[in-house]
Amino acid sequence: MDAALHQEQLTTGKKVWRRFCRNRLALAGLVVLVLFVLSAIFAPWLTDYDPNRNNLRDRNKPPSREHPLGTDDMGRDILARTLYGGRISLTVGLVAVGISMSIGLILGSLAGFFGGAVDTVIMRLADIFYSFPFLIVAITIAAIFGPSIYNTMVILGILSWPGPARLLRAEFLKLKTTDFVTAAEGIGASPARIMFRHVLPNALSPLLVSATLEVASAILSEAGLSFLGLGVPPPAPSWGNMLNRARPLHILANMPWMWLPPGTAIFVVVLAINFVGDGLRDAFDPRQDLS
């Protein structure tokens, strides 16, 4: 039975990939996203400059052969800070989503599978989180605990769990009444085995789609907190605090090379992630299979 289930999952995976590849925007978004991830990983090989090294003799220089994207008001190379900033911004997005998805997976599974009082308590807790404006609460907590990359990841992760939890709960409510769950109960399978071996694998598809879109949201939230000075603290480069350095009007008007690279990076990465998320949503929909 397990071998047949594994083979069916492999076949389903191939169909999902085939549907995904039909979506050119999603495929282009995946390529762009991979390029950004690779550029962040191999940043030391793509630039010779230390992103945090000040050089006041080269401050506020426009793009040149020596500095392809120019320098900031401290003489730091913009290209180096953009590449290394991608490491931090992408890491914050991925870790924050990992935290929110882990919490949402556990609580959503428990609420959907057991129902009753467990479901009521967890969903009312989710309602409490939903009742407060996300950004206002994030700013307040960040102001209390201070700017830190770790605080930023934890804050964004903890505040974002209700969405995945509600999504997984809905999938569990739908799947626990299916025939294969009834059959597993009939042969005496334990609740834990039914939950994690039979129901959860079939409920993960919408959660995966949600995770990709949540990464984009987390990157934007980190940029917003860093722009306000409450996210990743300087001198560590992130796209958000690079924009924070470019807030003065004379920089916005006369030195576009200081804010265009990080702003463009945020725009392109978030757009690419949204394309990938839309592609995954369509790929997991069996109605899209025209073969």
Rounded to whole angstroms, the Cα distance separating 291 from 289 reads 6
Q: What is the pLDDT of residue 291?
A: 46
Alpha carbon 50 to chain centroid distance? 27
**Average pLDDT of 83-102?**
93
**Average pLDDT of 81-110?**
92
Q: What is the pLDDT of residue 138?
A: 92
Alpha carbon 67 to chain centroid distance? 31
Q: What is the pLDDT of residue 235?
A: 83
Q: Which residues are within 8 A (CB) of 160 and not within 5 positions of it... i.e. 6 or more apart?
A: 96, 97, 100, 134, 214, 217, 218
Domains and CATH numbers, the chain: 36-45+55-286 (1.10.3720.10)
pLDDT band at 159 (very low <50, low <70, confident <90, very high): very high
pLDDT digits (tens, 9 = 90+) for 270-287: 999 999 988 888 887 655
Q: What is the pLDDT of residue 5?
A: 44
CA distances from 149 to 93, 95, 144, 214 (A): 11, 11, 14, 18
CA distances from 206 to 63, 157, 210, 212, 241 (A): 44, 18, 6, 10, 33
CA distances from 235 to 18, 195, 247 (A): 44, 46, 16
**Average pLDDT of 92-118?**
91
| Residue written as token pair 């590449």 | 83
For residue 30 the two structure tokens come to 């995946």
Percent with pLDDT over 70 in the chain: 93
pLDDT band at 132 (very low <50, low <70, confident <90, very high): confident
For residue 272 the two structure tokens come to 């690419």
pLDDT digits (tens, 9 = 90+) for 261-271: 999 999 999 99
pLDDT digits (tens, 9 = 90+) for 178-206: 777 777 767 777 777 777 777 777 777 78
Helix ranges restricted to H, 131-199? 134-145, 149-159, 162-175, 179-186, 191-193
Q: What is the pLDDT of residue 285?
A: 66
Q: What is the pLDDT of residue 160?
A: 92
Burial class of 227 by CB neighbour count within 10 A (0 to 12, 13 to 18, 19+): buried
Rounded to whole angstroms, the Cα distance separating 181 from 191 reads 10
Q: Which residues are within 8 A (CB) of 172 and not within 5 positions of it... i.e. 6 or more apart?
A: 108, 109, 111, 112, 113, 199, 203
pLDDT band at 41 (very low <50, low <70, confident <90, very high): very high
Burial class of 124 by CB neighbour count within 10 A (0 to 12, 13 to 18, 19+): exposed
- Give the pTM: 0.84
pLDDT band at 289 (very low <50, low <70, confident <90, very high): low
Q: What is the pLDDT of residue 101?
A: 92
